[in-house]
Each structure stands twice: as structure tokens, then as C-alpha cells.
A and B are shown apart, each in its own frame.
Chain A
Amino acid sequence: MALRNAASFLGQRLVGAAELGISAAKSSAGEALTNAFVTDGVRHASNQAVKQRIRAIKNIGKITKAMKMVAASKMKNAQVAVEQSRGIVNPFVRLFGDHPGVDGKSGVTVAVTSDRGLCGGLNSNITKYTRALLKLDAAAGESANTQLVSIGDKGRSQLMRAESRLFTYTFAETYKVRVTFAQASLIAEELLKNNPEVVKVMFNKFRSAISFKPTLATVLTPEVLEKQLTEPSGNRLDAYEIEATHERSDVLRDLAEFQLAATLYNAMLENNCSEHASRMSAMENSTKSAGEMLGKLTLEYNRKRQATITTELIEIIAGASALMDA
């Protein structure tokens, strides 16, 4: 605005200069451009708004980059713990076998999820698989006695909406300090309070920094286990002589509880590690998108800035030349 006033002022001073052939055209073009500038301001974002947007995106980019580095370092620590905790699950699988397809009259399904978000599609994956599992169980006819337990806040919020009637427990903030075996034992004890026959644990197994697959671990109580293990040549467990003060069933029950605790411990650690890895890659993608958006917006900003300058220049020249003609 100030520039336009200055231009007309300047033009008045330059009265009497040589006539420029294109001056008429230029003046009308200048007016057209001026009009365009006034009305255009309403149609698309002013340069100020673009500048603000650029600043905001730059900040977001910085935050996501920091989050990615934090997640990467946490993942490295968690990875060590995960690999070491896998050792204790193997003997159980060797001894009892893995029976994911078992139909039990009463069961507990545990969904292991994370507490915080911004970790990619991890938690929705688990929710999807858990719901599918519940549907399968319902189809097999034992939905009446299936309990749903969620470890982690994200699972709670997602599953509560979907399957609220089956929900019993939620365990939250397990990862706040550190996952310990004591925690897992406590959860295992809670889960076994109502004597379920089958406990199914759904978690994300950490395969590598870019691969985490939803995995199902099944833990059976001794009665169901004995039924499963009975092969034509006799019960596999019978090969072992069980020595204890209590009866065989007590020892097996304790063993099953230990197996559940160890499985839960492993599951929570694996999920924790997968969460960090997933967050790392999600934040990496965010940073990259933020960078691209920033580039595009900067170009647009500069283009607009240059267009504005050009417009002002043309106005001045047009104004000056118009007054020179007059």
C-alpha cells in the first residue's frame, strides 16, 4: 500500500518524460495486477500464513527426529533383554508342545499392547487379530466363558469399544519402570484365579528392527494338557517320574503357572521391543514427510514472495510511466 502511494507520488514528479509505446498496456496490466492482488488475498493463504505453517512443520520435524533417536536407543536396550528371555520359554514348548488350536471350555485371551501411541500400526494389528481370534472361538462354540484381558492402555481403549462384554482386567503402566518377572508372575496368578483351561496370549514378536509379527502363545492347564499329550503310545508326560511332597497334579499345576508367567514375561518384553522399533520407523517416516512438506512450502513461499515483489515493481514502473506520459 505504501509502495503504491510512493509510486503515484513518484509518477507525478516525472511528468513530461518521453512517451513509452507500451506504457498504456503496462498501466492497464499494472492495474489488473493490482486488482488481482487485492482480491487474491482472500482466495488463497497469505504469505504470513504459509510462513507460520513452515515454522510449525519445522518444529514437528525436530520433535519426531528426537523421538526417533530416543526410540532407537530404547530398542537397543530392550533387544538384549528380549533375546535373553527367550531361553526359558523353549524347554516348556519342548516338554508340553504348542497347541494353538485347542478348544477349552473356559479360556482367557490376553492382548499385549503398548501404553502410549505414535507407534505405527502395532496396536491396531493386535486388536484386529484378537478380535478375529475371539470370533473363531465363538464359532467353535465356547464364547460363553472367554475372558478378555488387556495389558497396556491402547488395547484397553480399542478393545473396550469392540468387545466390551468380555472385558475383565486391564494391566496398565507395566512398562513404566521396567518389566520384571515378578510383575509377570502377579499377572499370571490373577489370570489363573478362575481356573481357565486355556490361556492365549497375543503379542508382537520382535523378529528384527523392521519386522514384528503378531504371535499367539498358548498355555494349557494340566488337565487339558494331559488330554492333548495322550498319544497312542501313552502320555508323553508319563515318561517322567514326578517326585514331590504333593501329588502330581499339584506339581503340574505349579509348572503350568510358571510357564504362564515365563510366557507372559517374554511376551511383554517382545511387545515392548517391537513398540520401540515400530515407533522408530514411524517417526522416521514422519520426519521424512515433514521434510518433504517443508521443501514444498518453502518453494511456494519464495514463489509468492517473488511474485509480490514483481507486482510491486510493475506497479511502480506502470505508475511512473503513466505519469510520465501525462
Chain B
Amino acid sequence: MSLQISILTPERPFWNGQADEIILPTETGEMGVLKNHAPIITGLDVGAMLIRGGQASGSKDEWNSYAIMGGFALVKQNQVTILANEAVSAENINPEEAKEAFESAKANLEKAEGVKEKVEANFAYKRAKARYQVVKVLKKI
């Protein structure tokens, strides 16, 4: 319980709590934050964010996952502030739905023609992928 984490979205404060470790989907790849991390501002890509040892989970080694639709993360003095466009908790995602959405988004992406369609399809694909990944992680762990 060493990190103080707040996940904020424009619509509402998504989650406030404490955890031991957090893995962020940054633009340069996955980045883990432990206690006493150096202060950092980084941009987040659309992807899965994992939190270990949070209050929501039972034991210290349990991971919770959330799908983040892009945003920013600020880390300073064991305070992690995540500003996300949208955030969904893994528990709130229906696995079959997520898988279907992922498959159809992938198909759409391959079918897409023209810049506008490609951009939209890409975005939808990334979203569906994030949700699907998050649900997969939850089911495995």
C-alpha cells in the first residue's frame, strides 16, 4: 500500500485508492511504477493498465486491470495521477462481447479504405483491443 493512485476521467473521478505497483500503457511501451519512482509526466496510449495490491483486490499479489483510452499520467512522491479520456474496469466488461467486438473491429480495419475510414477503424480497433486484453488478463489471473 505504498502508492496513492487516482484515476480521473472528464466525466467523473474513476477510482481513488492505494496500491503497491502499477503498470501503465505509455506510448513507448509498458512502464511499471513502484514505490519512490522518480517524478514523471508521460502520455498514455489506448491499452490496459494493471494495478497490483490495490485495496480492491484481496491479497498483495493480485492484479486488477483497467482499460484506458489514452490520456496522461503524472507521478510524483508516490502519488500517481492518471488523467484518462475514458476508463473501464475489467469487471465491467463482458468477455464474449469484448471478444466479438475485437474480432469485428479487426475485420473492419482490414476492410477500411480511405484515410477517414482507416483512422476511424484504427481507433475502434485499438479500443476493442484494449478492452479485450483487459478481460483476458482478468480471466487468466
Residues of chain A whose beta carbon lies under 8 Å from any beta carbon of chain B:
81, 84-85, 87-88, 91-92, 95, 181, 184, 237, 239-245, 251, 254-255, 258, 261-262, 265-266
A261–B72 contact, CB under 8 A? no
What are 25 A-B residue pairs whose CB atoms fall within 8 Å in the complex? Answer: A84-B13, A88-B8, A88-B10, A88-B13, A181-B10, A181-B11, A184-B10, A239-B76, A240-B40, A241-B41, A243-B40, A244-B42, A245-B27, A245-B28, A251-B41, A251-B42, A254-B43, A255-B72, A258-B71, A258-B72, A258-B83, A261-B10, A262-B10, A262-B83, A266-B10
Chain A residues within 8 Å of B6, by CB: 91
B13–A239 contact, CB under 8 A? no
Q: How many angstroms between the C-alpha atoms of A284 and B74 in the bound complex?
A: 47
Q: How many angstroms between the C-alpha atoms of A254 and B72 in the bound complex?
A: 9
Q: Is B34 an interface residue, CB under 8 A from the partner?
A: no
Interface size class, chain B: 20 to 34
Chain A residues within 8 Å of B43, by CB: 244, 251, 254-255
Among A84, A242, A243, A244, the residue within 8 A (CB) of B11 is A84
Query: Separation in Å of the A266 CB from the closest CB of chain B?
Result: 8
B11–A240 contact, CB under 8 A? no
Chain B residues within 8 Å of A184, by CB: 10
A242–B41 contact, CB under 8 A? yes
Chain B CB count within 10 A is highest, among A84, A87, A241, A261, for: A87
Among residues 31 to 59 in chain B, which have CB atoms less than 8 Å away from a CB atom of chain A?
Answer: 31, 38-43
Q: How many angstroms between the C-alpha atoms of A262 and B6 in the bound complex?
A: 16
Q: How many angstroms between the C-alpha atoms of A87 and B13 in the bound complex?
A: 6
Q: How many angstroms between the C-alpha atoms of A84 and B42 in the bound complex?
A: 24
Chain B residues within 8 Å of A258, by CB: 71-72, 83
